[in-house]
Structure 1
Amino acid sequence: MSAPAPARTRGGALSIQGLTVGYGGAPVLHGVGFDLAPGEVVALLGANGAGKTTLLRTLAGLARSTSGTVALDGQDLTTLRTEDRARRGLALVPDGQSVVAELTVDENLRLGALWRHRGAARERAIAGVYDMFEPLARRRTSAGHQLSGGERQMLALGRALVADPVLLALDEPSLGLAPLVVAHLMSTLQAAAAERGMTVLLAEQNVTSALSIADRGVVLDLGRVVADAPATALAADETLRHAYLGF
């Protein structure tokens, strides 16, 4: 078992510069660059194929860039392994919810806390998730495959939060969920970010929900940044909404 990561001060400043990423020689991202301030919630928007998932996978070290850099709180992450990025405070909730189906709710949460907490600190972190998501508290001994879609998404988010990240990246957390469940997840995410001073990068096709909790929006189109503006300005820009966001 790995030793606990060293203690960190809160941060979460993310700098993406000139990021180019491709699969099989074909670029998916073309020189993407933008920054996130500590504690900022940024919605990453765009149609299917815009490059949102590729960008998040690259931040987490699951895809490799051919050029450009990624830095978190001034530390260059570009060549680090996924687990080393996690130890520095970056957490990814991928599309598909990342729940281990064979493990119980409680075991999934303990797995999330593995690198960050031990003993009483771990128990407090897990208890905090149960306070945040009451349905999980009632189902703590249920296996992941026994949960509803909404409960699995709560668990995926909770498992990321027990690691106490400074930067949380989420890929389409609302996908396939009922509107009331989406509203609850978004409000909980917004509250958690504010309470923890956590930076959030939220990739979503549910544009209205994402912009409702975001400070700012970054719009991708065919692997390029085409807009970067306050959330309220993006929501009010009818031309941009029709051109890139589908509403």
Structure 2
Amino acid sequence: MSTAAARTEAPAEGGALDIGGLTVGYGGAPVLHEVGFALAPGEVVALLGANGAGKTTLLRALAGLVPVASGSITLDGDDLAPLRTEDRARRGIALVPDGQSVVAELTVDENLRLGGLWRHRGAARERAVAAVYDLFEPLARRRASAGHQLSGGERQMLALGRALMAEPIVLALDEPSLGLAPLVVAHLMGTLRDAAASRGLTVLLAEQNVTSALSIADRGVVLDLGRVVADAPAAALAADETLRHAYLGF
């Protein structure tokens, strides 16, 4: 194992994401306490920890959905703090939140095209849609089906495919395996790893399914009560019995 202004041109492949001394909270109560770590271009990092550790808050702060009390988030050296959520998306940050974020009334094809609406036009959009169908073959067979007609696994594939339509530099995912059968999780994780490798994506994967996350990650960052308690190669974390029992529940 190994891992300002809006712009409309396609981002370059890969991106160095640096999170420095990040403190974030709600109503004056901190949830994250001076969290800091970096992701190299093309790296897959598993963000691990129990419920309430701060994983979702960190992803929401990255996307600009919650205010940051102190600290910094930079992408390829550019400070993201001045950017609104939509401008961060255009800069190359894509968030797939818990809940899959599929528009239930739209077809698979319409959901994908919506994801690339501001990024692609004409033939470029058709190529981007075709690339997602190549990556997620079950979606190609369901392209005319409405979102509410899909299985849980298909909806998660669609949510991920829709995010990829924007050609992000950094892809952040919040519990993509939640509620899915083990075989579906294995397929989804493998496809995510393939997507990261083929597209040069930097991936931050928040997961409670620790075994699955570490199986595709280069590194793991463990949060406990809003603080980083471990940052190590995925294989080292999986082999650290004391840490696994203390923080990861297996």
| Aligned equivalent of 2:11 | 8
Q: Does 1:167 align with 2:170?
A: yes
CA displacement at 1:139 relative to structure 2: 1.1
Code of the residue aligned with 2:172 in structure 1: it is A
| Aligned equivalent of 1:70 | 73
Q: Which runs of 4+ in 1 moved over 6 A?
A: none
Per-residue CA deviations over 1:162-183 (Å, capped at 9, x if unaligned) read 1111110000000000001000
The residue correspondences of 1:179-190 to structure 2 (distance < 5 A) are 179-190=182-193
Counterparts of 1:57 and 1:44, CA distance in 2: 13
2:52 to 30, 41, 49: 49
Counterparts of 2:7 and 2:241, CA distance in 1: 49
Per-residue CA deviations over 1:201-225 (Å, capped at 9, x if unaligned) read 0000000000000000000000000
Counterparts of 2:219 and 2:164, CA distance in 1: 22
Counterparts of 1:16 and 1:4, CA distance in 2: 22
SS at match of 1:12: coil
Q: Does 1:118 align with 2:121?
A: yes
| Aligned equivalent of 2:199 | 196
Code of the residue aligned with 1:97 in structure 2: it is Q
Question: TM-score, normalising length from structure 1?
Answer: 0.97
| Aligned equivalent of 1:34 | 37
Q: Does 1:244 align with 2:235?
A: no
SS at match of 2:160: helix
Does the 8 A contact of 2:10 with 2:167 survive in 1? no
Does the 8 A contact of 2:11 with 2:168 survive in 1? no
Q: Does 1:154 align with 2:168?
A: no
CA displacement at 1:4 relative to structure 2: 7.0
Q: Does 1:96 align with 2:84?
A: no
Does the 8 A contact of 1:12 with 1:198 survive in 2? yes
Counterparts of 2:33 and 2:17, CA distance in 1: 18
Per-residue CA deviations over 1:58-94 (Å, capped at 9, x if unaligned) read 0001111111111111110023111100101110000
CA displacement at 1:47 relative to structure 2: 0.2
Structure 2 unaligned blocks of 5 or more: 1-5
SS at match of 2:157: helix
Counterparts of 1:81 and 1:168, CA distance in 2: 17
Does the 8 A contact of 1:19 with 1:65 survive in 2? yes
Per-residue CA deviations over 1:89-132 (Å, capped at 9, x if unaligned) read 11000000010111111110001111211111111110111111
CA RMSD of aligned residues (A): 1.1
Number of matched residues? 245
SS at match of 1:174: coil
Structure 1 unaligned blocks of 5 or more: none
CA displacement at 1:25 relative to structure 2: 1.2
Does the 8 A contact of 2:105 with 2:147 survive in 1? yes
Question: TM-score, normalising length from structure 2?
Answer: 0.96
